[in-house]
Structure 1
């Protein structure tokens, strides 16, 4: 689920934008120019968690996030 256009499916690219202690998860259709913000963010993180969080979000997007990050627990 994205803030801008709702649910998107297909071949997607995931990016994690970390600024200070906040991480915004972005997705785009692979090869497109437009990026969309995954709903429910930004997430508060601890310094150095960016790479770990990105890997976890890639796995989560592969399994689907129909509600965005709302109620999502990273394990």
Structure 2
């Protein structure tokens, strides 16, 4: 018997979201492993950290991107971090 999936809701802190399609291999998450297909990427500011989360497009559950958390010294950098994350993870052509 496996433990129930942990479902983490995004925080009400500042955030940016973009729909993405990852390339082969998908996006690794802490909670459920690899997710593939049409996803939504959320880059959020939690305290002094930037955190990346993904969900299946239009689903309710959000999953933490493995390795997707780091200190962010200046909150105004959230947009830049989100743009870079989208550039790295959105690979609709493979």
TM-score, normalised to structure 1, is 0.76
Which of structure 1's runs of 4+ aligned residues deviate more than 2 A? none
Between structure 1 and structure 2, the one with the greater Rg is 2
User: What is the aligned residue count?
Assistant: 63
* CA-based RMSD: 1.2
Residues 51-72 of structure 1, C-alpha deviation per residue, up to 9 Å, x if partnerless? 0101111121114xxxxxxxxx
Q: How does 1:30-45 map to 2 (within 5 A)?
A: 30-45=57-72
TM-score, normalised to structure 2, is 0.61
**Gapped runs of 5+ residues in structure 2?**
1-27
**Gapped runs of 5+ residues in structure 1?**
64-75
